[in-house]
Amino acid sequence: MNIDNLQDIWKAYDHKLEESRVLNMQSWVLNLKCFEDLQKQKAKAKLNRLATLKKWAVFLGIIWVLFLLFLIAHSLVFSKIAFVISAGAIAVITSIGVAMYIRQIILIRQIDNSENIIYVQQKLAELQTSTLNIPRILFLQSPFYCTWWFTPAWVSSGDPGFWFISLPIALLFVYFSLWLYKNISYKNCDKKWFKILFNSPEWTSVIKAKDFMNEIEVFKKDMA
Amino acid sequence: MDSENEKSKFIQLIEENKRIIYKICQSYCPDKNDREDLAQEIIYNLWKSGRQFNSEYKFSTWMYRVALNVAISFYRKEKTKTAAVPIDEVLHLADKNHENTEADEKIKLLQTFINELKALDKALMLLYLEGRPYIEIAEILGITETNVATKINRIKNNLKEKFTDIKN
């Protein structure tokens, strides 16, 4: 079998396609009516995609932040200072996460497929991998879920429940959230804790995106 | 591209290039049912990008960029489902009235080998097989012309080895 005429074999494939009339079956390219329908279908598909995890996360995140702000506005007294600070910190960190999600969605939509392939695919893969920054940020709010019920009176009373249970738990969460902030990265994706934490299709695609970025880097290298 | 005239022109362009679109879909989408979705996605993106068509590029360069970018993104999303692409269906249709020829075997083998390539190598080989000049392939992919030539040679040598293995 002669390999030197690959392009001829490919041309024969063209001929075969023509002969088989398989292309004529692709009615979606053949008339305007079908094309209009196609556009409607695509618009629908985009709406369906709105229901993905990311978009739900944005929606729920906004609702959650508004709810927290409502509670804060109705708790502005000294006795509830820990609650106001905790809820405020949670609202700020959640807002950062939501803003990062929104930015990603906008950037993905702005990608122009008519740019060269390496540029577009690299941008897409980079955007996907940057998704890992969002849980890093969001984990930082976890200690504040352990502090919202603290009150100045409880702290000053010297209650052992505060000093030996609540405060150590809060500090433990501070440690873990900072540890996760430092360690959530692609380089740890083969670790057991990472796999347990990010065991969902969304995260699998993020890890694969990083692999694809490596593939792009290899492809870009001038082999000459 | 809003007037009826422009729509007709666009459809004519698609009609003229439908074989290329079909082959890209065939190479990047193993599932026959999903393949039609990919073709629609490509056409939709060509239509959408048509507004931003930059006349400093050749039409073919622009079309390949859009089609291959959409196909690669689609392929990456669907990769978990990846299986051997059933190319027999094309040949089967063609073979209704003919005996299976050596040419069919060659096409089948070539298509199988292309399907085994990584996403970017696949794009490179598709462009090479379509007879695009190296300079245009470099523009479409975003790498240097020298790199294009080196990679094509390397892939061709790999294919040659595979062809020889099968022959033996």
Mean pLDDT, residues A70-88 taken together: 94
Report yes or no on B102 lying in a domain. Answer: no
Report yes or no on B166 lying in a domain. Answer: no
Report yes or no on B118 lying in a domain. Answer: no
Model confidence band, residue B84 (pLDDT cutoffs 50, 70, 90) = very low
Contact criterion met (CB < 8 Å) for A3 and B159: yes
Mean pLDDT, residues B151-155 taken together: 93
Tens of pLDDT, residue by residue over B115-152, are: 889 999 999 999 999 999 999 999 999 999 999 999 99
Sign of CA dihedral A119, A122, A127, A133: negative
To the nearest 10 degrees (0 to 180), the angle between helices B32-49 and B4-28 is: 140
| Token digits of residue A5 | 């005429």
Report yes or no on B125 lying in a domain. Answer: no
SS3 annotation, B116-151: HCCHHHHHHHHHHHCCCCHHHHHHHHCCCHHHHHHH
To the nearest 10 degrees (0 to 180), the angle between helices B59-78 and B134-141 is: 50
Best of B14, B101, B106 to substitute, by most chain A Cβ atoms within 10 angstroms, is: B106
Contact criterion met (CB < 8 Å) for A222 and B147: yes
Could you tell me if A48 lies within 8 Å of chain B, comparing CB atoms? Answer: no
What residue of B is the nearest CA neighbor of A19?
A: B94
Could you tell me if A43 lies within 8 Å of chain B, comparing CB atoms? Answer: no
Query: What CATH number should be reported for the domain holding residue B78?
Result: 1.10.1740.10
- Separation in Å, CA of B83 to nearest CA in chain A: 17
Contact B66, B47 (CB under 8 A): no
Report yes or no on B99 lying in a domain. Answer: no
Burial class of residue A174 in the structure, from the number of CB atoms within 10 Å of its CB (0-12 exposed, 13-18 middle, 19+ buried):
middle
SS3 annotation, A153-187: HHHHCCCHHHHHHHHHHHHHHHHHHHHHHHHCCHH
| Token digits of residue B129 | 């097989």
Q: Which residue has the higher pLDDT, B107 or A22?
A: B107
Partners of A12 on chain B (C-beta within 8 Å) are 103, 106-107
Contact criterion met (CB < 8 Å) for B167 and A20: no
ipTM of the complex model = 0.82
Residue type, B48: K
- Separation in Å, CA of B131 to nearest CA in chain A: 7
**Residue linked to tokens 């050749």:** B58
Confidence (pLDDT) at A62: 96
Predicted TM-score (pTM) of this structure: 0.77
Q: Which residue has the higher pLDDT, B142 or A111?
A: B142
* Residue B95, pLDDT above cutoff 60: no
Confidence (pLDDT) at A5: 79
Model confidence band, residue A14 (pLDDT cutoffs 50, 70, 90) = confident
Tell me how many domains chain B contains: 1
Report yes or no on B57 lying in a domain. Answer: yes
Confidence (pLDDT) at B2: 57
Report yes or no on B105 lying in a domain. Answer: no
- Separation in Å, CA of A57 to nearest CA in chain B: 20
Confidence (pLDDT) at A46: 52
d(CA A49, CA A105): 11
* Residue A193, pLDDT above cutoff 70: yes
Domain that holds residue B38: 1-83
Could you tell me if A217 lies within 8 Å of chain B, comparing CB atoms? Answer: no
d(CA A173, CA A175): 5
Mean pLDDT, residues A74-93 taken together: 95
* From A59-73, A147-161, B133-147, the region with the lowest mean pLDDT: A147-161
Report yes or no on B152 lying in a domain. Answer: no
Confidence (pLDDT) at A37: 65
Scanning chain B, the segments in alpha helix (DSSP H) are 4-28, 32-49, 59-78, 88-94, 102-116, 119-129, 134-141, 145-167
Confidence (pLDDT) at A116: 93
In the Cβ-directed half-sphere of A129, how many Cα atoms lie within 13 Å? 18
Could you tell me if A215 lies within 8 Å of chain B, comparing CB atoms? Answer: yes
Interface of A with B in 110-139 (CB under 8 A): 112-121, 124
- Separation in Å, CA of B85 to nearest CA in chain A: 15
| Token digits of residue A159 | 């209650």
